[in-house]
Amino acid sequence: MVTIIGIESSCDDTAAAVIQDGVLLSSIISSQKVHESYGGVVPELASRAHQQNIIPVVDQALKKAGVSKEDLSAIAFTRGPGLMGSLLVGTSFAKGFSSALNIPMIDVNHLHGHVLAHFIKETKDDNHQPQYPFLCLLVSGGNSQIILVKSYKEMEMIGQTIDDAAGEAFDKCAKVMGLGYPGGPIVDKLAKEGDPTKFRLNKPHIPGYDYSFSGLKTSFLYLLRDELKKDPDFIEKNKADLCASLQKTIIDVLMEKLRRAAKDSGISEVAVAGGVSANSGLRAAFEDHARRYGWKIHIPPFGYTTDNAAMIAISGYFKYLDGIFCPIDAAPFSRVSM
Ligand code: KG4
């Protein structure tokens, strides 16, 4: 029996999860509320909160799974990318835990984790996993990438954002409308009541499979600036239509490149991952593409879209089976890499 505990602390969620023979036994996430009043993650506060939360979160994950520390085969942790101060908390915890229990340590790339969330089994007979090779659209607060996934350890980033991430576009545009943080889920909710064709926003023209969202953000900002001059209540009166138009534009941009990548590669197995994959419009667009283009789509359950440790534990499980461990002097890395 292989029992892996996963630790995730790359940004503002402290999480631990236990996976046994590929099946999820527990997944605990402590989300930090301290950042809400700042309208974004404050790195210094994030590391401090991780430091406070990590032991209780691990303790809860073990208790819920019904396993003791001594039952663990290995500890998997997020090595990067992410906020350095946050990563250091999880990495240092993993080192201490692995030394004390004399079990191996497995480093996991956070981006691989998001992609491999599709392989988390909730029961033994869960057989919904994608077949290699597949394409994965990874969209979160910090990433917008198209990844060609050849195996659990062979992933190629064939497209990525050259500036803002899709989640950032949602969050920043929500902020200028005076909506709360994070803005993505609020825009999603308001968009349901709005007309997505009401406002035209600029779409980027970037070669290949790369994305760009900064122009869209500026176009949104200019629209608000011009309309607010005519009517100070413009945002309040048009909130739902603004959200629907913004959401539609972001989704159109994301799907256009993904469609091109699928066509060029001849791959019709397509997955979505990361925080923005919780978006109802994006999920609907995936379903629509499945019908229109015969894609076999993979949309993760809501609990595995945003940062979680189950995805780190399953990634660690695959590495454990191949005997790929990490040295005790491993240092975290903050920059995006596959
Ligand atoms: O993967 P994630 O939890 O971590 C980061 O990379 O930060 O993603 C968070 C991002 C935020 O930008 C948030 O606004 C966005 O995912 N998000 C959404 C939705 N739920 C979360 N964006 C659009 N629609 C949603 N329903």
List, for residues 123-153, the tens digit of each pLDDT value.
999 888 999 999 999 998 888 999 999 999 9
pLDDT confidence bin for 316, thresholds 50/70/90: very high
pLDDT, position 266:
98
The response to whether residue 281 sits with its C-beta less than 6 Å from ligand 1 reads no
Mean pLDDT of 240-246: 98
Domains 3-127+304-321 and 134-300 share a fold: yes
pLDDT, position 127:
86
Name the closest-CA residue to atom 2, ligand 1. 275
Q: Is the pLDDT of residue 40 over 80?
A: no
Q: Is the pLDDT of residue 241 over 80?
A: yes
Query: Can you give the pTM of this predicted structure?
Result: 0.93
The domain segmentation of the chain, as residue ranges, is 3-127+304-321, 134-300
pLDDT digits (tens, 9 = 90+) for 155-208: 999 999 999 999 999 999 999 999 988 899 999 999 999 999 999 999 999 999
Q: Give the atom of ligand 1 at the shortest distance from the alpha carbon of 165.
A: 12
Nearest to 241 by CA among 197, 205, 272: 197
Pocket test for ligand 1, best of 170, 243, 277 (most atoms within 8 A of CB): 170
Mean pLDDT of 80-102: 97
Fold of 134-300: Nucleotidyltransferase; domain 5 (3.30.420)
Name the closest-CA residue to atom 20, ligand 1. 185
**CATH architecture of the domain with range 3-127+304-321:** 2-Layer Sandwich (3.30)
Q: Mean pLDDT for the chain?
A: 95
In the reported structure, the alpha carbon of residue 73 is separated from the centroid of ligand 1 by a whole-number distance in angstroms of 32
The response to whether residue 11 sits with its C-beta less than 6 Å from ligand 1 reads yes
In the reported structure, the alpha carbon of residue 57 is separated from the centroid of ligand 1 by a whole-number distance in angstroms of 22
